Structure 1
Amino acid sequence: MMFYHGAYHIDVCINDYLDVFCPHYSGAVPPEHTERYVLYMVNYDGYRTCDHTAKGFKRWECNRPYALGGPLKFSEKFQLFTPFSLGFEFRPSTEYYYLSSNMAAGGTRSSCLKLKVFVQPSNSCVRTTGAHDHIFDVHDNSLEPR
């Protein structure tokens, strides 16, 4: 999914990931033509008005448009519990809101970008077992998928 303008909506399940790739440019693109973003998690009012200052906090910053290893990538894991102090815990049947605006030269903001994420109820999510997933049995020491 690429954000060009406006608002987007996705549904996720607990333990899904959302990957965010920052804009990336070759050295031939002048700095004034690159995009840099700060992405915030906000409450509904902040989402509605595109204002991160009321009840929002910074999740990621896309500030290296010429990163040597390619575009910066940030991942959000939608989990019930997190062992990390900067992690966030999500609840089923709940909407979460993200927003960002492009930081133009001089620090001015333009073009509010919005994303609404709905964490589906647990009974709406189907757990599938892929070819690379392992199902472990406490009485079986093998690592073969079943």
Structure 2
Amino acid sequence: LAMVCSLTVSCRFYHGAYHIDVCINDYLDVFCPHYSGAVPPEHTERYVLYMVNYDGYRTCDHTAKGFKRWECNRPYALGGPLKFSEKFQLFTPFSLGFEFRPSTEYYYLSSNMAAGGTRSSCLKLKVFVQPSNSCVRTTGAHDHIFDVHDNSLEPRDDTIHESAQPSRGDVNLAECHPSSCFSLLVVLLHLLTLLVT
């Protein structure tokens, strides 16, 4: 099971546990084992990857407080190896996405599914999301390094800051400005008219 950490580090799972540090908005790319058709199925590796809590990580048990994150179950995929990406972001627009917090550790397990569906090994990864003020941003083409203190996109301390924009469910019509409420009312009435006719 190969793994690419951030943009520059390439590492491989062999045995035991690994640890990486990431920043918010970094990616972790996981490449599944891939084989040519000449390799018999009993010699291929198939993995199930789980995100677990610390106890699950320590005991290598995904059943306690873990959930399946990805499954490497197509070792002969036509387009090459399966690739899964984890983006370490504060907020996600996806209902099944995961949100990460600075100064927090996250734990992954992977077990090799041997013939007959039994687990034959336990591979572990600990990911530490660094505090926002310890991450340095770079641009792509010129790798110009910005000053950490000049970064207005991320919080300067380790507190969790909620979005200033309310989500759709947070709109309180009682606090609505009269002109915007009127516009909203006109749109709603128009939609209601279209539905009725």
Name whichever structure is richer in strand by fraction. Answer: 1
The structure, 1 or 2, with the larger RCO (C-alpha pairs under 8 Å, 6+ apart) is: 1
SS at match of 1:14: coil
The question of whether the paired residues in 2 share the 8 Å contact of 1:134 and 1:143 is answered with no
State the alpha-carbon separation in 1 of the partners of residues 94 and 55 from structure 2: 27
Residue 22 of structure 1: how far off its partner (Å): 0.1
Superposition CA RMSD, Å: 5.1
SS at match of 1:82: coil
The question of whether the paired residues in 2 share the 8 Å contact of 1:18 and 1:77 is answered with yes
Partner of 2:20: 10
What is the count of residue pairs matched by the alignment?
143
Partner deviation per Cα, 1:16-43 (whole Å, 9 max, x = no partner): 0000000000000000000000000000
Q: Structure 1 stretch 19-28 or stretch 127-136: which is displaced more?
A: 127-136
Instruction: Give % identity.
Output: 100
Task: Structure 2: state its 5+ residue gaps.
Answer: 1-12, 156-197
Name whichever structure is richer in helix by fraction. Answer: 2
Partner deviation per Cα, 1:52-82 (whole Å, 9 max, x = no partner): 0000000000000000000000000000000
The question of whether the paired residues in 1 share the 8 Å contact of 2:18 and 2:125 is answered with yes
Partner deviation per Cα, 1:115-138 (whole Å, 9 max, x = no partner): 000000000001112228999999
Question: What is the TM-score of this pair, normalised by structure 1?
Answer: 0.88
The question of whether the paired residues in 2 share the 8 Å contact of 1:134 and 1:144 is answered with no
Question: What is the TM-score of this pair, normalised by structure 2?
Answer: 0.66
Q: Structure 1 stretch 48-57 or stretch 128-137: which is displaced more?
A: 128-137
